[in-house]
Amino acid sequence: MICGDNYFGSHIESGVVDEILELIRPLSPDAFVAGPAFNAGRYGVACGTMAKAVQDALSIPVVSGMYRENPGVDMFRKDIYIIETKDSSADMRNAAPKMAKLLKKLVNGEEVLGPKEEGYLEKGIRVNYFNERRGSERAVELLVRKIKGEETYTDYPMPVIDHVAPAPPLKDLSKAKIALITSGGVVPQGNPDHIESSSATKWGKYSIAGMDHADKKDFMTIHGGYDRAFITEDPDLCIPVDALRKLEKEGVIGKLTDYFITTTGTGTATNSSKRFAEEYIPLLKEDGVDAVLMVST
Amino acid sequence: MEKIYLLLSNNPMAAEKYREDRDIELSYHEEDSFRDVLVRARDLIHRGWHLMTHPQASNLKPNQCPYKTVFLSKGRAAESEEREIELIEAAIAAVDKFTRGMQAPRWTEKALRDFQTVDLSVIESALNSSLLHQMILNHQ
Amino acid sequence: MKLELGKIHIHDVKFGEKTEIRSGVLYVNADELRELVLRDDRLIDCHVELAHPGESVRITPVKDVIEPRLKVEGPGVVFPGVMGKVTEVGHGKTYCMDGLCVVTVGKIVGFQEGVIDMSGPAAEYCPFSKTQNVCVVIEPKEGLETHVYESAGRMAGLSAATYLAKALKDQTPDETEVFETKPLLEQAAQYPDLPRVGYIHMLQSQGLLHDTYYYGVDAKQIVPTIMYPEEIFDGAIISGNCVAPCDKVTTYHHLHNPVIEDLFRQHGKTVNFMGVILTNENVFLMDKERHSDMTSKLCEYLGLEGVLLTEEGYGNPDTDLMMNCKKTTQRGTKVVIITDEFPGRDGKSYSLADVCKEADTMISCGNGNVVIHFPAMDRLIGTQDFIEMQIGGWVGCKNEDGSFDAEIQIIIASTIANGFNKLCARGY
């Protein structure tokens, strides 16, 4: 079964899931594999969505494979088995046998062991077992290790909650200075700073001074995660300079900055994204920017 | 003087006791579920009220008791607003976690009265806190 | 403070003419015990039943479990402030009935209490399936106010245990353990090369059926304080908590606090056990802030390098647990938490009601939401009419033959959150 991830992503509401299910159902499969998607975000989401849909509709075992940071992992790890892969398809030779092995076990109804043994990303299901020693005894030993600075462990990893407190609302949009930021990979023609097509390690800041829209002779997209045809033809689809200029003229917003900030989102590690923001936020502050329009793809 | 303390509850026993309190405003909703009370509390927090009692007070988990009382204030806050939202949202999430696919028991009248007593006792353990008592006296 | 705990092993319990211990068997004069309990005019009936490990017996609803102990040397009485003067305990010599418990049984309030099965699958999870149990089944007066009845139930168990404990008087212990904690500076100097560690013991304190008593005082009223660990072995802390059978800390579990026992086992070997900090789990949020500040301050002031931290209950106490963990860690004392988990029936939700990033070393006492089957038993002590309403049961969980399905949180002490058991949960 082949389906482009853009097609999938843009047709969820119009019933692509059922459409694919009806293609699968007549085949009466015993099991279903989606992916591996490695670190391709849209692909991961599509794999997860279909695997869960097949599991629910046909009640057969399903397996997928993804890199830990793929957004499909957080969305579907509790519902389906996702074998942990590296971040690119170079890992196919390792990932595929693990997926096959787990799928076989599921089909044969054999006992599935823990995430470490089978190589899947923890589903987050808490399962009881009897330890060899009582909890208090293990706790005293663990405390001694912690005090000594030795390696420790935890029976229950804390869920990581990344808090971002919302900024206070703008007092007056008509006086606000707005900046434009995208992870859509739009860069000046020629990509002067060599920003990567995926797994970006850098970001760029480029001028839109005096432009009333983003023209294809000035800009291109280098994003490796979607069909570039439309944005190549009209970069305003990703960096809506045209719309913002119009709002600026109408006095709805105060002013658009003379530049936009850009990087590539696909495959980019969350830690890198965090660093980018820490690097450009001081520039925005210095420039007196009141609000930011973030455009993803 | 406007009352700056609010007892939000679906517990008739709590309502009976605090209907005419000098310092505490009563917001009693007979028809509310346990979850409804928490959602009301959440909305009040977004409107500037502060959480005074832990929304998951009592060891009875949400599927184990039909009554909930939350104490709020417009005065001094115990926690940051962000933390208050976190606590109330966690309480609502816990209701959903424990009631998913579960049918509420058919409690007997006696059991319902006991639950009312326990819920009231738990909220009063906070109202009887020396620190809160002083704050209420001093209208803080 | 120095305490000698003499253990008299009890391997059987029988009814007899006289309440006494002969060759490791406890004989109970049921009439005498019954009369004693019924001196409390809040109760209209009481009967005594015996349950032995391996029998096809179910005990429910259970309020408290208590080990009989007797002070044989030194000041005070066991359960000070409740069964006698408030004199400080923890000095001298105490005897205990090792392997025997008093179990208080009866309708508590609406939702009832937990289950002890003496055999079958549920027995795997329950420490009291392995003890000889003297069950005191009580019936309250009609129309008794709930608080009053709770206290009558609590006192019935303590009186019964105190009565049975008299049989320990002239016994010779099969085994003796000695516990000693010196005053702070001397204790620090005794093992200068070992890390100084303590224990933050959080007591349930939220209101009716959610209370704990320290020297007879409701724990809501205390500010965080320091206790010699030996005091707890003489019953300085008793349970008034009746909610959530799986992780309520019974009075037995206070007498046998496993954290204190295991810290003593390592005392002088891998740790220098300095003492216990008692704190509570109040409902008013400012009390939580205030008491977690004080608890962390005590850790700093005592120069503790590490502490173990335990809670009683789910929900509200999880917030105290996290506040204590966070503030104590930030003030420079390393923390290990012991807790149980409630991730919902499917095991997929967050296990605790609160989180903090400092809680990076946690010992799990198991998932209380796991469902198991409870087969019918030949004999029932108490009543199982209320199983569907008891914590862990649900509408339709009971079958006509007396068997039922329920979450293991219905079993007394199955996931007790101080590490008493071997049960643990892991992520799949």
> What DSSP letter does each residue of B21-69 carry, written as one string?
-SSEEEEE-TT--HHHHHHHHHHHHHTT-EE-B-TT-SSS-GGG-S--E
Number of domains in chain B: 1
**B23 CA to chain C: closest CA distance, Å?**
17
- Out of A112, A134, A152, closest to residue C361 by CB: A152
CA distances from C296 to B39, C201, C328, C333, C355 (A): 33, 12, 4, 8, 18
Tokens matching residue A175: 């006086």
pLDDT confidence of residue C22:
97
Greater confidence (C367 vs A11) lies with C367
Could you give the residue ranges of the DSSP H alpha helices within A40-192?
41-58, 71-76, 92-108, 115-118, 135-148
CA distances from C30 to A211, C65, C156, C252, C283 (A): 97, 18, 14, 22, 41
Task: Confirm if C213 and C64 have CB atoms less than 8 A apart.
Answer: no
The CATH number fitting domain A5-118, selected from 2.60.120, 1.10.3210, 3.30.70, 3.40.50: 3.40.50
Q: What percent of chain C has pLDDT over 90?
A: 85
- CB–CB contact C306 A147 (8 Å): yes
E-strand ranges in C84-152 read: 92-98, 100-105, 114-117, 132-140
Asked if the model's pLDDT at residue C112 lies above 70, the reply is no
- CB–CB contact C286 B58 (8 Å): no
**A276 CA to chain C: closest CA distance, Å?**
24
Asked if the model's pLDDT at residue A130 lies above 80, the reply is yes
Select which of C135, C242, C246, C397 is catalytic: C242
pLDDT classification of A63: cutoffs 50, 70, 90: very high
pLDDT confidence of residue C412:
96
Question: Distance between CA atoms of A195 and A220, rounded to whole angstroms?
Answer: 12
Whether C356 sits among the annotated catalytic residues: the reply is no
- CB–CB contact C357 A160 (8 Å): yes
Mean pLDDT taken over chain B: 91
Name chain B contacts of C389, Cβ cutoff 8 Å: 105, 107, 111
Domain boundaries, chain A: 5-118, 173-295
Quick one: average pLDDT of A22-30?
95
Mean pLDDT taken over chain C: 95
- CB–CB contact B56 C220 (8 Å): no
Quick one: average pLDDT of B61-82?
90
Helix (H) or strand (E) holding C364: strand C362-367
Q: How many CB pairs under 8 A join A and C?
A: 163
Question: Is residue C212 within 8 angstroms of chain B, CB to CB?
Answer: no
- The residue among C195, C249, C250, C257 whose CA lies nearest residue C231 is C257
Task: Confirm if C16 and C28 have CB atoms less than 8 A apart.
Answer: yes
What are the φ and ψ backbone dihedral angles of B79, each rounded to 5 degrees? -135, 170
Question: Is residue C363 within 8 angstroms of chain A, CB to CB?
Answer: yes
- The residue among C251, C254, C73, C47 whose CA lies nearest residue C162 is C251
Name chain C contacts of B93, Cβ cutoff 8 Å: 349-350
Beta bridge partners of C240: C211
Residue C246 identity (one-letter amino acid): C
Task: Confirm if C312 and C249 have CB atoms less than 8 A apart.
Answer: yes
As for the ipTM of the complex, it is: 0.96
The gap from C-alpha C287 to its chain's centroid, in whole angstroms, comes to 24
Q: What's the domain range around B126? A: 5-137
pLDDT confidence of residue C27:
98
Residue A193 identity (one-letter amino acid): D
**Single pTM value for the model:** 0.84
- CB–CB contact C420 A148 (8 Å): no
- Give the residue numbers in A contacting C (CB under 8 Å), as ranges: 78, 112, 114-115, 122-144, 146-148, 152-161
Query: Which residue of A52, A80, A134 to mutate against C (max C Cβ within 10 Å)?
Result: A134
pLDDT classification of C322: cutoffs 50, 70, 90: very high
Give the chain B residue nearest C348 (alpha carbons).
B97
Per-residue pLDDT tens over the stretch C178-224: 999 999 999 999 999 999 999 999 999 988 778 899 999 999 999 99
Q: Identify the three-state secondary structure at position C265.
A: helix
Contacts of A127 (CB under 8 A, 6+ apart): C347, C367, C425, C426, C427, C428
- The residue among C80, C65, C223 whose CA lies nearest residue C136 is C65
Kindly report the number of other CB atoms within 10 A of residue C206's CB atom: 32
Residue C200 identity (one-letter amino acid): I
pLDDT confidence of residue C194:
98
- The residue among A37, A41, A49 whose CA lies nearest residue A13 is A49
Question: Distance between CA atoms of B22 and B2, rounded to whole angstroms?
Answer: 10
- The residue among C321, C309, C327 whose CA lies nearest residue C355 is C321
**Neighbours, chain B (3 or more CB pairs < 8 A):** C
Angle at C305 between CA C184 and CA C187, to 5 degrees: 20
Asked if the model's pLDDT at residue A161 lies above 70, the reply is no
Per-residue pLDDT tens over the stretch C248-295: 999 999 999 999 999 999 999 999 999 999 999 999 999 999 999 999
